[in-house]
Structure 1
């Protein structure tokens, strides 16, 4: 088996297997515009719901007050750092 055959095998696998859903969507868009756009809107709605969920979790986390918000929350920014000695 040559190196060219190896890479052609990867190409064939990607085009026939991995890209099959994308090819199906492209063919559907040519035949049924409404169906293709419905799938896109479903994906956008799922993403919006996920963003709202994530933002609510961030608000809950901030309300707990468990996170340190002072400027020296990391050890390398503490009072013993070299930056404070230079000031």
Structure 2
């Protein structure tokens, strides 16, 4: 059973978190490169949020959602 938990630890530490470790090592070598990568991820997240908000606005403008008070029984 102990080996099972050690294998889970090995999976997370050596495989799944390897990109974060490389980013941490990059920060020690070149701060501007690490910050640039972080800003790229932030821009991707911002673009995804804007896209999602535009999709929500499109569905809201089409009045496709049932907004009546009796739409849910718990209301």
- Asked if these proteins are the same fold (TM beyond 0.5), I'd say yes
Tell me the CA shift for residue 77 of structure 1. 5.5
TM-score of the superposition, structure 2-length normalised?
A: 0.87
Please list the CA deviations of residues 9-63 of structure 1 after superposition, one character each: whole Å capped at 9, or x if unmatched.
Answer: 2222321111111110110001110010001100110011111111111111011
Query: What is the CA–CA distance in structure 1 between the aligned matches of 2:62 and 2:17, rounded to whole Å?
Result: 44
Q: 1:33 aligns with which of 22, 31, 34?
A: 31
TM-score of the superposed pair, with normalisation by structure 1: 0.76
Structure 1, unaligned stretches of length 5 or more? Answer: 79-87
Q: Which residue of 2 aligns with 1:66?
A: 64
* Aligned residue pairs, count: 75
Structure whose alpha-carbon radius of gyration is higher: 1
4+ residue runs of structure 1 moved beyond 6 angstroms?
Answer: none
CA RMSD of aligned residues (A): 1.6
Give unmatched runs, 5+ long, in structure 2.
none
3-state DSSP of counterpart to 2:56: helix
